[in-house]
Amino acid sequence: MSFQEELLQIFVPEKDVPAEYQLPHEINQREYLSNGEMKQWNGATHTVVSPVCFPTDNGFERKVIGSYPVCTEKEAMEALDAAVAAYNNGRGEWPTMSVDKRIKCVEAFTKKMIEQKDIVVKLIMWEIGKSYADSVKEFDRTVEYIYATIDALKDIDRDSSRFDIEQGIIAQIRRSPLGVVLCMGPFNYPLNETFTTLIPAIIMGNTLLFKPPKHGTLLHYPLLKAFKESFPKGVVNTIYGRGNTIVPGLMQSGKIDVLTLIGSSKVANQLKKLHPKVNRLRAILGLDAKNAAIITAHADIQLAVDETVLGSLSFNGQRCTALKIIFVHQSIATEFITQLKEAVAKLKYGMPWEKGVALTPLPEPGKPEYLHDCIEDAKAHGAKVMNENGGTIAETFVYPAILYPVNDKMKIYREEQFGPVIPIVPFTDLEEPIQYLIASTHGQQVSIFSNDTEETAALIDPLVNQVSRVNINCQCQRGPDVFPFTGRKDSAEGTLSVVDALRSFSIRSLVATKMNEKNKHLVNDIVNSQHSNFLSTKYIF
């Protein structure tokens, strides 16, 4: 049996899917949340297919999970109007609500969200092929992120519940919302990464237009009711449809105050340019990345191998933080590759519900073909696939390929593969990977593997000015979520972390007055009467 035939056997018949991982039924969404209502949709729909295939009489077919509305610009504009009305130039119920009340709404939402855990986790698994274990982790991490966000906001609010007196001026400084936020998340962390922008945006008093990711759409459906019941009408509005049909008009309206997108820099650039007043538009963006590992002659090879496997193949390499190019010192390249091949060969491949599975089918149509092209292009320019069966494709599954030696003529040298291909570039002088990073259009993170103090220090200083996080002897990653997550060049705009996101989705506003008896009296009266939610010394516990 060929390896490809062997691989095809991972796609078991539908009846062999364990009952506890099956979806209860096809999920055919015919409604969306807009202006506080679940609006019915009778128009066009998009059929959602899983990366998981089943053998059928017609060959292997991707499982149909359900469908969702493909709305038009009209519905998107109605949702925009709802968000604009709910914001009401900053005078709406939500932007003027006290922070503790807003927190209570988010807490109520989170409780309802947790009730939907089972179905949301299953949908993550079926829609994007993420292992069941990682889908659970994604859900739990998101809930933890929300609670951490609430705690961070309480801290910010407590710090702001005081007056500052400077040069005869008394002031209270708080953070205020920015307006209407257009939020779009990525397919690889469709719940978590979307919510790391959506939740801070809402909790700071903004109103929202939320477009679920193209793959990873249905998993948001069970949460719409929770949004509807937890927030005033018009605070959270969903938009469904083809991005290139519904989003341009929203941007051209000039009514979007904040664009938050985890996706490609190309899309972000196109959208920003559509806004009639770019100076008014805030952008909080997580974009392309091609994080490098630099494995020096003084590295612990075993450790570098373990971290390279995690860094380049977790969720099949479909992480923005994945290690997407590996520079290895020539003197240890053979040993490194030998060990890497062994480690990759040990990874379990199969269906996302299988215990211990590391490699699973890919959700993006055309992705296996793209990765195949990258491998063929690398081969044409002198690289070899170093591991047995590397790059073998079976329907939606791509077996990892280790490519060596990779050089600057290959497209894999610069392009973000976002998949299970590990390009290895040999080097003799540390200046080579440094120059790669300088020339790169990306600037998210890097991993250095070395146990030599001087060498590591000499790399840290130039690299912190090329990327936003230098990892020593470990893979690149976003977490812990309290750490700043950002990037230089085309990799990001703005900073996300539990605390930074709250800052990113708000602006400081202050109320100030000259310190004299009349004003002191006035300010005290306002505070004591509790007539203002902003000018207040109320303390949230």
**What six digits make up the tokens of 361?**
């089918």
Please choose, out of 364-372, 402-410, 425-433, 472-480, the segment that lies near ligand G3H by the rule CB under 6 A: 472-480
**What six digits make up the tokens of 308?**
């390279």
Among 34, 207, 316, 321, binds ligand G3H (CB under 6 A): 321
139 binds ligand G3H (CB under 6 A): no
As a whole number of angstroms, the distance between CA 336 and CA 357 comes to 24
User: How far from 41 is each of 38, 72, 75, 223, 278, CA to CA, in Å?
Assistant: 9, 11, 10, 17, 33
427 binds ligand G3H (CB under 6 A): no
123 contacts 219 by C-beta, under 8 angstroms: yes
Among 138, 193, 257, 500, binds ligand G3H (CB under 6 A): 193
The position carrying tokens 């297919």 is 49
In single-letter form, the type of residue at position 44 comes to A
3 state SS of 535: coil
122 binds ligand G3H (CB under 6 A): no
479 binds ligand G3H (CB under 6 A): yes
Among 175, 478, 486, 502, binds ligand G3H (CB under 6 A): 478
Counting beta carbons within 10 angstroms of the beta carbon of residue 58, is it exposed (0 to 12), middle (13 to 18) or buried (19 or more)? exposed
As a whole number of angstroms, the distance between CA 158 and CA 136 comes to 33
319 binds ligand G3H (CB under 6 A): yes
Name the minimum Å distance from CB 493 to ligand G3H.
15
477 binds ligand G3H (CB under 6 A): yes
Comparing CB distances to ligand G3H, the nearer of 193 and 364 is 193
Among 32, 68, 145, 189, binds ligand G3H (CB under 6 A): 189
Name the minimum Å distance from CB 310 to ligand G3H.
10
Please choose, out of 88-96, 147-155, 318-326, 352-360, the segment that lies near ligand G3H by the rule CB under 6 A: 318-326
Counting beta carbons within 10 angstroms of the beta carbon of residue 496, is it exposed (0 to 12), middle (13 to 18) or buried (19 or more)? buried
Comparing CB distances to ligand G3H, the nearer of 75 and 193 is 193
416 binds ligand G3H (CB under 6 A): no
323 binds ligand G3H (CB under 6 A): no
Q: What are phi and psi of 321, to 5 degrees?
A: -90, 0
As a whole number of angstroms, the distance between CA 382 and CA 129 comes to 33
As a whole number of angstroms, the distance between CA 516 and CA 283 comes to 41
Q: What are phi and psi of 105, to 5 degrees?
A: -65, -45
Please choose, out of 17-25, 165-173, 316-324, 384-392, the segment that lies near ligand G3H by the rule CB under 6 A: 316-324
Comparing CB distances to ligand G3H, the nearer of 94 and 139 is 139
Q: Which residues contact 153 (CB under 8 A, 6 or more apart)?
A: 99, 103, 203, 204, 502
240 binds ligand G3H (CB under 6 A): no
320 binds ligand G3H (CB under 6 A): yes
- Residues near ligand G3H, by CB under 6 A: 188-189, 193, 319-321, 477-479
